């Protein structure tokens, strides 16, 4: 197993499907890179390997996933297209409870929202109320870290970032409803169970509910678009890697 002479990425067993002459992290053809007069390849365990600079975050988040064949490229491209269209759908409908609350994603977010209340309840009443909204946004970010740093799959991480942004969009109608407390709540709870009605009342900012809701919605859409851009860059890099002379995984 060797270390890339350019980005210092060390191969693992998960990189086995990747052509041995191609770095799965930065995508260079190692032999060609060395032929241009660069430093010789470094073997893991050698003194030079231990002195190699660590990979920067930018390089890390642009690493190709372990599986980079044509089938995965097409599958990811279809998913990216679907998520892009879904993002446009949310943008077109704005802060509308019927559209957001009736979406498939709301049914996914809701159980994690309710679990968040329980998870944060030991931290006091305010955090117990905020915990529902907080956890439904944080959970996808936790999965992002897991996919990117432990499973070396940045494309999956970009999808979880999209989910985090959508979770923010999911909260926008709830925040906007704070002064009215008219939305149906889980279990048929009364007005006293309205998370954002209580939170904004406790902080004396109930009059700013609409401004908070708009900010939350725009932030969520922005994160969703950033996630789609990240995924598109990874797909472009994967496509170029596959088109390279050594990009044939069967070779």
pLDDT in tens, 107-165: 999 999 999 999 999 999 999 999 999 999 999 999 999 999 999 899 999 999 999 99
Cβ-proximal residues to 249 (8 Å cutoff; 6+ apart), any chain: 17, 18, 19, 68, 69
Q: Are 3 and 11 in contact (CB under 8 A)?
A: yes
Looking at residue 6, its pLDDT comes to: 64
Domains of the chain by residue range: 2-63, 70-238
Looking at residue 178, its pLDDT comes to: 96
pTM: 0.79
Reported as a single tens digit per residue, the pLDDT across 193-231 is: 899 999 999 999 999 999 999 999 999 999 999 999 999
- What are the Cα distances from residue 75, in Å, to 69, 71, 104, 114? 10, 6, 21, 32
Q: pLDDT confidence of 16, banded at 50, 70, 90? A: low
């Amino acid at each position: 197993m060797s270390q890339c002479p350019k980005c210092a990425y060390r191969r693992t067993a998960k990189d086995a499907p990747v052509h041995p002459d191609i770095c799965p992290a930065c995508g260079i053809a190692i032999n060609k890179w060395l032929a241009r007069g660069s430093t010789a390849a470094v073997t893991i365990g050698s003194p030079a390997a231990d002195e190699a600079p660590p990979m920067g975050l930018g390089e890390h988040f642009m690493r190709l996933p372990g599986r980079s064949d044509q089938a995965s490229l097409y599958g990811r491209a279809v998913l990216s297209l679907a998520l892009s269209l879904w993002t446009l759908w949310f943008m077109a409908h704005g802060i509308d409870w019927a559209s957001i609350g009736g979406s498939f994603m709301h049914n996914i977010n809701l159980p994690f929202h309710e679990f968040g209340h329980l998870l944060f309840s030991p931290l006091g009443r305010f955090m117990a109320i905020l915990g529902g909204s907080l956890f439904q946004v944080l959970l996808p970010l936790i999965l992002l870290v897991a996919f990117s740093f432990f499973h070396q799959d940045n494309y999956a991480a970009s999808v979880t970032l999209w989910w985090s942004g959508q979770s923010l969009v999911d909260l926008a109608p709830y925040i906007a409803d704070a002064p009215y407390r008219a939305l149906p709540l889980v279990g048929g709870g009364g007005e006293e169970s309205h998370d954002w009605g209580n939170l904004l009342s406790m902080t004396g900012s109930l009059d700013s509910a609409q401004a908070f809701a708009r900010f939350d919605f725009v932030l969520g859409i922005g994160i969703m678009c950033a996630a789609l851009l990240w995924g598109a860059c990874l797909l472009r890099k994967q496509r170029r890697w596959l088109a390279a002379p050594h990009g044939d995984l069967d070779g």
